[in-house]
Copies of this chain bind each other. A is one copy, B any other.
């Protein structure tokens, strides 16, 4: 039988000083008071449901120019990074998201050399890109320096990605960065964004995809965070429609399991520009067989070539809608 919990009232805190560590796990601006001492994720993006994690200790709270930033030690998911009340990563399951958003595109093209990461300030995608020995240069454009600093302080196994000498960090607006990028520069662009409510909104719109396409070489690939088939089919259909108009190579949707994301899944749009054909479902650049080349970042935990191919298999309800929009 379920445990009984008695709750007490709590009030919102409207203005937070920077870096105010708390030890009581009490409710505050980032802690949608649900169970005292628990963090609950409530959002109009997933109405009528909430996932909650037990908080051992709040390690950091700050308000950047763009969003609220919080880090807490959870009881069972390790440390947790929260932006504007939404879980971005936990130490326990970050491997699934970081490995899939990175290796789905990079294992689909031979010898990727120049890679751009938009968002992804925690550094986890950089860590994964760095596994590819063919890569010569990695640009990352993150709008919020606080995310980078907080990750370096609290998530060393994620921020380890910044230690790779091929990485160049640009703090700024990803939309502007891409507009300014030289045409045909990148083999791959990875858009590791938060949800389309807040600072990441433009990253889901057609002009942004046009800038991505321009910055990619012919037959270059993009992978963008593309929400949940269970919760956001209308958003996904719009993204697929936009991508189909912009990317003249292939347009595909893949998904994976991430327990601490709403509905337990997250999806990815994988597209290629006109040029050498990219068959995302049959990766040509395996990483799982050579993953011992970089001992300092530990082995792959989640990704392998079978789960790469499986990620493109969709439940019928999603397949019908997505394939109709993705068809040329």
Binding site for B on A (CB under 8 A): 1-12, 29-30, 32-35, 38, 40-44, 47-54, 68, 74-77, 84-86, 92-93, 95-96, 230-231, 255, 257-259, 261, 263-265, 288, 299-304, 306-307, 309-311, 313-317, 319
Given A257-B230, A265-B259, A301-B317, is A33 in contact with B5 using a C-beta cutoff of 8 Å? yes
- Enumerate chain B residues within 8 angstroms of A74, measured Cβ to Cβ: 48
- Enumerate chain B residues within 8 angstroms of A9, measured Cβ to Cβ: 6-8
Given A54-B49, A302-B315, is A5 in contact with B29 using a C-beta cutoff of 8 Å? no
Partner of A1, one of B35, B68, B306, B317: B68
A-B contact pairs, 24 of them (CB 8 A): A2-B30, A2-B40, A2-B42, A2-B84, A3-B85, A5-B32, A5-B34, A6-B10, A7-B7, A7-B8, A7-B35, A48-B76, A49-B52, A230-B257, A257-B315, A258-B264, A263-B264, A264-B265, A304-B316, A304-B319, A306-B314, A306-B319, A307-B314, A310-B310
Q: How far apart sit A35 and B2, CA to CA, in the bound complex (Å)?
A: 15
Whether the pair A51, B51 counts as a contact (CB closer than 8 A) is yes
Most buried by B among A8, A306, A315, A319: A315
Whether the pair B42, A5 counts as a contact (CB closer than 8 A) is yes
Whether the pair B288, A302 counts as a contact (CB closer than 8 A) is no
Q: How far apart sit A11 and B8, CA to CA, in the bound complex (Å)?
A: 12
Q: How far apart sit A54 and B263, CA to CA, in the bound complex (Å)?
A: 15
Q: How far apart sit A93 and B262, CA to CA, in the bound complex (Å)?
A: 14
- Enumerate chain B residues within 8 angstroms of A302, measured Cβ to Cβ: 315-317
- List the number of copies, as a whole number: 2
Which applies to chain A's interface (DSSP): helix, strand, loop or mixed? loop
- Enumerate chain B residues within 8 angstroms of A38, measured Cβ to Cβ: 34, 50
CB A317 to nearest CB in B, in angstroms, measures 5
Kindly report which residue of chain B lies nearest to residue A54, judged by CB atoms.
B48
- Enumerate chain B residues within 8 angstroms of A313, measured Cβ to Cβ: 304, 306-307, 309-310
Whether the pair A85, B264 counts as a contact (CB closer than 8 A) is no
Q: How far apart sit A9 and B10, CA to CA, in the bound complex (Å)?
A: 11
Most buried by B among A4, A288, A299, A310: A4
- Enumerate chain B residues within 8 angstroms of A288, measured Cβ to Cβ: 316
